Amino acid sequence: MPWFVKIEKGLVDKATFDQSVPAHKQFVRDLIAKGHQAKTGYWAERGGGMLLFQADSMEEARAIVAQDPLVQNGCVSYELHEWKIVVE
């Protein structure tokens, strides 16, 4: 399965963002349970982060990202890219 990366930029203050974090973490746990090998995290300097996951296609990746509570609640803008691994 190809890898995809959602690179996020925060749009709201931390207190507002933090309200969506528990649902986002559950969303990622659900992706892991479904075999998408998802990982999520934020930049040390704050203000954004990344979601790395596997999907069958860009279309599926877009559908997955659309379900992310951080996206649904307007907490982040993002770019979505298919990641081509060169060395494993």
Q: How far apart, in whole angstroms, are the C-alpha atoms of residue 24 and residue 34? A: 15
pLDDT tens track for 18-49: 999 999 999 999 999 999 999 999 998 878 89
* 49 in Cβ contact with 1 (< 8 Å): no
Q: What is the pTM of this model?
A: 0.92
How do residues 51-77 score in pLDDT, each as one tens digit?
A: 999 999 999 999 999 999 999 999 999
Domains observed in the chain: 3-83 (3.30.70.1060)
State how far the Cα of 13 lies from the Cα of 35, in Å rounded to an integer.
Answer: 32
